[in-house]
Structure 1
């Protein structure tokens, strides 16, 4: 259901931008693309987070089309104006609760708010109204879980601990000196406490963060290499992850088929998505502001921490939207050439 819902959101967004024919193409591509159905049957958080992230992004796209909430209007019309900000807030809260790094989307929301008046999409007042409403409602929905965390740990933990474990597994000597195929991936030193353990505490998380930051300060020359590896790893069609069914059952026919399909589908998707990104940037820069911001946020986040195909997965729907933009532009060129004169 979540995977199908993601395809429907892609269709709806592409229809708003390019019409129903391109939207149907994008929806079909999404349904058949391994990068968008791979995790649905594996019950990982990727399917839920991707659906929530896409819903949040699409809702903000629709918010951009609204005028100032304070304008005189019928009550029913004003209620419809509030629909998309509330929808964005619900998707944002769900994304934060699904993955702790989803809280970074609050920063994306702030940047989006600042660009709206600068690009003359909305007034400062309207942009501020929307952003404050979305942020406050999202935090209100997350608050019960944060309160539960406070009761359990005595600390203010928004969603979950684990940042220290991630940092110490990314910034250490082993990441640079390990086997070539494992460089740039998460590889914590032996004996590192794991946040999935029931006795993992916020104090341990804080200590691991401090240890990782101390390593960074003494290895500044190595940072460009690590960040570059993170970027390269992000775009590898398939990256190993412990526990994946493809690793557990490599002899199965389904595994063999997927391992063939993944690179065949992923590489053209990246290339066409990049082409569509350039095309839409020239023609629809304002309309797709939030798409560019979410893409940039996810890529920068993966470069700062580490990346696998799992962490690329949430932006695959945005690449499909960009492919729709490339197809739309290509059809427009063909149509112009066929016209007489």
Structure 2
């Protein structure tokens, strides 16, 4: 019976989410001119032409290869429609996974259903299905991996550890921020499994090994092409440098495409290494400024609204849109209200803190924060379900 309700709830969430995303994309005109979108499209064209990405390792390959396949199937013009509708499907599946995760995290059907429906109507997630960014694909892989992390928490099964590792590998090939997720589950599983270190290490090491094996073909390709050991891309050094230099202000700064040595070398291992060196040197020589920047990025993570084009879209169409900072505050309240269910919610909290640290380590952008916003929605849903449960108990007493 429980399994039947699980599938019914997931199907309901998927259908609602898909309908909203299809409706949104029906008349949506995508942005082809954004520098990141235009750059990834050029790499995707190379894949479609059989060039296998080309030189360097600037972008993670996951979204590039998906886009290259779509260009090959639908042509350069048809791609812009195909990618939006494929992302509508992936986004809807992500919401269904969120329903399952919420149910597992809070041990509550209502929390799962509220969480899934919350993700279904969450405007930034809907909006990004219309843009050829990697966020929608990444969130699908990440949420699928988190689903298996929760299964593993319950079953301790080797197959669930392997599945989580494989999906985390695919997520990492799309955006490398998921690379260290296996480290996050160490304390969680240790506490869940009666503080028995051996099974925890065994499952987490297997997960990490499968993750790295998933990356291996791309690592070999990078070594052949660049002559360096590059796990996914060299973007990290550039982003680190942008977040830590004399002109840094907490968000993206144009360092000069033709004048800055790090930017000129972008896409090469040398550029990544130089970015890390210069960023670390700035941290060492400007500790007070670094503390100011860290506080600014931490504060913006919790207080900045959505990207301006999402806010404008909601305002022009009269759509209800709670800005992300509201969801962040509600998530904190939800975590407090459900503190007795910490065995299920601990991973959600750990991931939020982990991703907050990543933003502080590089720089803030509303698009980057989108990755953590589904976790805010799930914690909010858990808190709402807890409030409803307490109200029902009061009314019944």
Same-fold call, TM cutoff 0.5: yes
Matches within 5 A, 1:1-341: 1-16=89-104, 17-67=106-156, 81-105=157-181, 109-118=182-191, 120-121=193-194, 123-175=196-248, 183-190=249-256, 191-192=259-260, 200-235=267-302, 236-239=304-307, 246=309, 254=313, 256-257=315-316, 261-262=320-321, 264-280=322-338, 282-340=339-397
Partners of 2:334 and 2:215 lie apart in 1 by 35
For the residue of structure 2 that corresponds to 1:229, the secondary structure is helix
Is the alpha carbon distance of 1:54 and 1:185 closer, same or farther for their aligned partners in structure 2, counting shifts above 3 Å? same
For the residue of structure 1 that corresponds to 2:370, the secondary structure is helix
TM-score (norm 2): 0.70
In structure 2, stretches of 5+ residues that fail to align are 1-88
Q: Contact 1:169 / 1:186 at 8 angstroms: preserved in 2?
A: yes
Q: Contact 1:172 / 1:189 at 8 angstroms: preserved in 2?
A: no
Is the alpha carbon distance of 1:200 and 1:311 closer, same or farther for their aligned partners in structure 2, counting shifts above 3 Å? closer
TM-score (norm 1): 0.81
Is the alpha carbon distance of 1:137 and 1:120 closer, same or farther for their aligned partners in structure 2, counting shifts above 3 Å? closer
Q: Note the C-alpha offset of 1:268.
A: 3.2
Partners of 1:311 and 1:203 lie apart in 2 by 25
Q: Note the C-alpha offset of 1:21.
A: 3.3
Q: Which has the higher contact order (CA 8 A, sep 6+)?
A: 1
In structure 1, stretches of 5+ residues that fail to align are 68-80, 176-182, 241-245
Q: Contact 1:64 / 1:121 at 8 angstroms: preserved in 2?
A: no
Q: Note the C-alpha offset of 1:23.
A: 2.5
RMSD: 2.5
Is the alpha carbon distance of 1:22 and 1:112 closer, same or farther for their aligned partners in structure 2, counting shifts above 3 Å? closer
Partners of 1:258 and 1:56 lie apart in 2 by 35
